[in-house]
Amino acid sequence: MSNTGYGSHANPEVSVRFVYFASQVVCTPRAFEKDSPETIECTMMAFSVVIVSTCTCGKLKTRLASKLFRAIGDLLLAFPYTHNVFCPMIISALFSAFDSPVTDDSNQKERLELLCRLVDSEKMYIPEIHKWACQVKNEKKKLFDTYPSQFSYLILAVGTSLPENCPQVFYDECDVSKYETARSAFRNGHWKSVASPNLDALNLYHMPQFEKKWIIALREIADSEVTCLGLDNLEKQQNHLISALSALKSAKSGSRFGADLRFPIGMTSAMLSSSYAHFHLLSVLRPFLTVLSGALQNDSFFNPVMAKRFLVALSPCEASINEALNDWSALCRASFCADSTSFDLITLYYLRVSVLLVSVRVILKKQSPDNIVQIPPMNSARTCSLLQKERLEWVIDKIKYLRYEFHPNINTIKLLYTITEQLSTIPYMLPRFFFHQFYHVDFKISTTPQIEKEKPINVMVGETIPIRVDGAISSTHPSQIRTVIVFAEVTYHTNHSHNQVLKEVVDQIDSKYFTAQFLLSFKANCDVRFRIEFIDQTTRKQWKADGGTTIPVAVREKYHQTEFKRAGAVPIPADPRYMVRSTMFNPEA
C-alpha cells in the first residue's frame, strides 16, 4: 500500500476512495477467514497508517469527509477496540483535529458525529471518548461551546457520570443548547442529575403555549426518576408523572402539533402504570421484610401461617402488574412509525414489567421458574438498549432462585425485593421517537349514517341497521400497509354484559382508500366506537392506529296497540270516529 501513494496528501479524493472501498472489503465476514492473527494484524496496521495519514492531511470537502468518516466508523465497529492495536491509533488521529483551539478546522463536526456513532454503538469506546470530551470541556471551552449538541451527547454517554467538579448546566447563555443538553441527558439516562437543572434554567416567559407546556412536562418527567426504591420516592414519581400527563394532554388539545404528542403521552402513562405496580408490590413486601420478618426466618421459629398471609397479600399485585403490562403492550402496538432503536427500547421496557409479573407468578406457584422470559433479538444493537438488556438478563437469571418447596421464607421475599429494586431503579432512556418522529401514518374515517352535532341515531329496539365505514390512509412510512382491520365496539350505558366487539378485515386496499360494512342491532342506548388496526407489508405485525370515531345510538321501544276495556265489558275502539258512530248515532246502542 505504501507504493501506491494512496496515503499521500497529493490527491485526498483518491485516498478517501481507497479507504472507503478497502474498509468495505476488510469488514466483510469472510475477509480474513483463512488468515492467521499475525497476518490480520500486519495488514490492518498497514491499512491504519493510510487512515491516519488521510485523517491528518487537512480539511476535506464535506462530501469527502462524510464518506471517509463513515468508512472509518464501519471499520472501528467491525473490529473490537480492546483486541486490536490499530484502533487506539485511529481514535488518536480523530482527536488530533481538536488539539488546536481553532474551530471549524479539519472537519471537526464530521469527526464528532463519528465519535457519537461509536459511543452510541459500542460500549468499549465509551470510557476513552467520555474522558476526552470532559477534558475538552475543561481545557478548550470555546471548542466545546461551538458544537454543543455533539459534545453534550459525548459527555453524557450511556453508563457514565459527570466529574465532581463539572457543572450540570454546560451552556449558561443559550437556551437552545440547554434544551439539547437536556434531550441528550434524557436519551442516555441522566434525568434528575442533568436534564432537570438544564430545563429549570430555561426562561419560559416568552415561549409560545405549546413549547411552554412541552418544557413543563419534560421538567416533571425529569424529576420523576427514582434512584432509591422507597414508598415516598414512588409517590413523588407518580405525582410528577401525573403533572407531566396533564401538561402533555393540555398541549395536545390546543395545538396543531398535537399528533406529535401521541407517543409521549402513551409512554408517560405506561411509566405511571409501572410506578403504581411497583408501589403496590413494595407496600406488600415492606412489612414482611421488617416487623414480620422474624416469623419468616428459615429456622425453628418459622411460621407457615405468616407465609400463607404473605401469599394472600401478594396475590392482588398480579392485577396491578397486568395493568402496567397492558399499557406497555398497547404502546408497542402503537409504535409502527418508531425507528428500530426506539422500538427496541419500548420492547425492553415491556419486558421489564413482564419479568416482574413472572417473578410474582412464580412465588404464587402459577408459573414454573423454568418458563422464563425470552428476550427477542434487537433490531439494532445500541449501547442504550444493550445496557437495558444486560440488566434484564441479570434479573431473569435470578428468577430460578424464587423456587421453594412448601412455603416462601424471608430469603424468597428478599430476592423479590431485590428484583423489584433493580427493575424500578434502572434508568429509563427516552427513545429517539419521543422527540423526533420521522414517519407518520394517519387514518381518517367517516360513517354512514353520519351524526350531526353529537346527536344520537334513533333506532327501534332489535332493529338491524347497516353502518358503512369509509376510510383514507395518509402515510410517509416506507413499509406499505397490507391489511386494514376495522373494529366496532358496542358499549351499552347500563348493562355491560351485552357489550360486543365486531371486526371487518379489508385485504383489498384501493389507492389508499378502504370500506367496511357492519350490520348491527341494538337492545338499549349505547355508543358504537370504530377504531382501526392494520398489518404492514414488511413485518406482517398487527399495529394499532390512533384515533377513531364514536356514534351514539338512542334505542326506542316499539309501539304496541293495546286494548283497553271499560266497566261492563264494552270494548273501546281504536279509531275514535268509529267510537262516535257506534255510540251516539246507533239506535241500538
pLDDT, tens only, 460-482: 888 888 999 999 988 888 888 88
| Residue predicted with more confidence, 40 or 566 | 40
Amino acid identity for residue 352 in this structure: R
CB–CB of 240/220 below 8 Å? yes
User: How confident is residue 583, by pLDDT bands cut at 50, 70 and 90?
Assistant: very low
Amino acid identity for residue 52 in this structure: V
How many Å apart are CA 158 and CA 476, to the nearest integer? 31
Q: Give pLDDT, residue 451.
A: 80
User: How confident is residue 560, by pLDDT bands cut at 50, 70 and 90?
Assistant: low
pLDDT, tens only, 165-206: 888 888 888 889 999 999 999 999 999 999 999 999 998 888
* 104 has a pLDDT exceeding 80: no
List the end-to-end C-alpha distance of the chain, in Å, as a whole number.
128
Mark out the alpha helices in 258-339 (DSSP H runs).
262-289, 304-314, 317-333
Segment among 175-184, 186-195, 533-542, 571-580 with least mean pLDDT: 571-580
* Mean pLDDT within 524-534: 92
User: How confident is residue 223, by pLDDT bands cut at 50, 70 and 90?
Assistant: very high
- How far is residue 215 CA from its own chain's centroid? 19
pTM above 0.75, yes or no: yes
Q: Across-strand partners of 551?
A: 528
| Residue showing cell 426506539 | 342
| Residue predicted with more confidence, 250 or 259 | 250
How many Å apart are CA 317 and CA 276, to the nearest integer? 10
* 210 has a pLDDT exceeding 70: yes
Q: What's the mean per-residue pLDDT of the chain?
A: 85
How many Å apart are CA 208 and CA 41, to the nearest integer? 58
CB–CB of 21/56 below 8 Å? no
* 254 has a pLDDT exceeding 90: no
User: How confident is residue 326, by pLDDT bands cut at 50, 70 and 90?
Assistant: very high
| Residue showing cell 257506534 | 582
Q: Across-strand partners of 474?
A: 442
* Mean pLDDT within 480-492: 92
Phi–psi pair at 170, nearest 5 degrees: -80, -35
Segment among 249-258, 318-327, 440-449 with least mean pLDDT: 249-258
Cell numbers describing residue 154: 459525548
How many Å apart are CA 526 and CA 541, to the nearest integer? 32
- How far is residue 517 CA from its own chain's centroid? 34
Q: What percentage of the chain has pLDDT greater than the value 90?
A: 41
Cell numbers describing residue 531: 377504531
User: How confident is residue 255, by pLDDT bands cut at 50, 70 and 90?
Assistant: low
| Residue predicted with more confidence, 511 or 335 | 335
* 284 has a pLDDT exceeding 50: yes
How many Å apart are CA 342 and CA 378, to the nearest integer? 11
How many Å apart are CA 275 and CA 559, to the nearest integer? 54
- Reduced to 3 states (helix: H, G, I; strand: E, B; else coil), residue 121 is helix
How many Å apart are CA 123 and CA 482, to the nearest integer? 38
CB–CB of 466/521 below 8 Å? no
How many Å apart are CA 553 and CA 522, to the nearest integer? 8
